């Protein structure tokens, strides 16, 4: 059985199947993925990659980056540029070639996303981009749909019980954390119940290798977007992101079983 979706549904499937050990259960359950940007990152490429990672398909990919963890030396300039480019993205009709991203999947998805935004306000996450209503037109007429504009929020204080900081948004939202060094960046990136993907932007191979050893994720990119996983590689996460690597290059292991044959 292969399932891609929320942790809550995946946990129910696991409980239902606990008494059938012969059944293979492959779970891919999303993430709260971090983009870790260090002071020596290739600045322009990192900005472009982070915007793409956060807002592709309106943030509706399990590999989208929903957290930006940036070191203090470049933080203000980097956040300002990410916010500027995010605010300029065109949210539009799916058939509009000028649109960067389209609507959320359903009215329920939009309602959940907006509810999480209200929680962010209540919890003190500071809006870097002023929230705006998406004004979408198509073929000369206003088009109503489940549209949401990109949001960038600066988190000043980490809270274990913060719904905004802990839950998967699955929408165009980027929470920003400013840290002092790579060690604090790794600690913040790991401070989540999920462990699907992460990205690290640095020109130092030693810094990347150090982060790669310490980050608790199933997939990691170096100076590249978190979105766009290759099917030639194993795909999946740790912690609440799923059980091992159920997709990509390892997917055949979940669709068949080996038979050991001994010949005399």
State whether 22 and 99 are in the same domain.
no
State whether 218 and 256 are in the same domain.
no
State whether 173 and 227 are in the same domain.
yes
Q: What would the mean pLDDT of 211-229 be, rounded to a whole number?
A: 95
pLDDT mean across residues, the chain: 93
State whether 60 and 160 are in the same domain.
yes
Q: Which residues are catalytic?
A: 28, 62
State whether 89 and 176 are in the same domain.
yes
Query: Is 37 in contact with 74 (CB distance < 8 Å)?
Result: yes
Give the residue from 186, 250, 255 showing the smallest Cα distance to 217: 186
Of 187 and 10, which is predicted with more confidence?
187
d(CA 261, CA 51): 52
State whether 37 and 128 are in the same domain.
yes
State whether 15 and 106 are in the same domain.
no
Helix, strand, coil % in the chain, rounded to nearest 5: 35, 20, 45
Q: pLDDT tens digits, residue range 64-122?
A: 999 999 999 999 999 999 999 999 999 999 999 999 999 999 999 999 999 999 999 99
Token pair in block for residue 71: 């070191």
Whether 236 is in a domain gets the answer: no
Identify the pLDDT of residue 246.
64
State whether 80 and 138 are in the same domain.
yes
Which residues make beta-bridge pairs with 239? 194
Query: Is 151 in contact with 133 (CB distance < 8 Å)?
Result: no
**How many domains, the chain?**
2
Whether 237 is in a domain gets the answer: no
Whether 70 is in a domain gets the answer: yes
pLDDT beyond 70 at 245: no
Which CATH number do you get for residue 61?
A: 3.40.309.10
Q: Is 109 helix (H, G, I), strand (E, B) or coil?
A: helix
pTM of whole model > 0.85?
A: yes
Buried/exposed 194-210: b ≥16 CB within 10 Å, e otherwise: bbbbbbbbbeeeebbeb
Q: pLDDT tens digits, residue range 156-215?
A: 999 989 999 999 999 999 999 999 999 999 999 999 999 999 999 999 999 999 999 999
Domain interval for residue 149: 32-231
Q: Which residues contact 252 (CB under 8 A, 6 or more apart)?
A: none
Identify the pLDDT of residue 21.
84
Of 249 and 82, which is predicted with more confidence?
82
Identify the pLDDT of residue 204.
98
């Amino acid at each position: 059985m292969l399932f891609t979706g929320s942790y809550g549904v995946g946990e129910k499937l696991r409980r239902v199947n606990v008494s059938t050990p012969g059944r293979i259960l492959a779970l891919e359950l999303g993430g709260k993925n971090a983009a870790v940007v260090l002071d020596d990152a290739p600045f322009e490429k990192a900005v472009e990659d982070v915007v793409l990672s956060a807002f592709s398909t309106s943030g509706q990919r399990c590999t989208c980056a929903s957290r930006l963890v940036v070191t203090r030396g470049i933080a203000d300039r980097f956040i300002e540029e990410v916010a500027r480019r995010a605010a300029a993205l065109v949210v539009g009709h799916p058939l509009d070639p000028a649109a960067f991203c389209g609507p959320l999947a359903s009215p329920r998805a939009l309602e959940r996303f907006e509810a999480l935004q209200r929680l962010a306000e209540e919890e003190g996450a500071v809006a870097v981009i002023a929230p705006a209503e998406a004004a979408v037109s198509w073929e000369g007429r206003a088009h109503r749909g489940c549209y949401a504009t990109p949001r960038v929020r600066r988190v000043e204080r980490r809270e274990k019980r913060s719904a905004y900081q802990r839950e998967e948004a699955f929408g165009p939202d980027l929470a920003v954390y400013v840290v002092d060094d790579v060690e604090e960046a790794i600690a913040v990136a790991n401070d989540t119940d999920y462990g699907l993907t992460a990205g690290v932007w640095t020109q130092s191979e030693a810094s990347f290798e150090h982060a790669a050893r310490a980050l608790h994720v199933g997939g990691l990119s170096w100076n590249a977007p978190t979105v766009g996983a290759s099917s030639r590689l194993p795909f999946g996460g740790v912690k609440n992101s799923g059980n091992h690597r159920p997709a990509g290059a390892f997917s055949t292991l979940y669709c068949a079983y080996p038979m050991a044959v001994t010949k005399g």
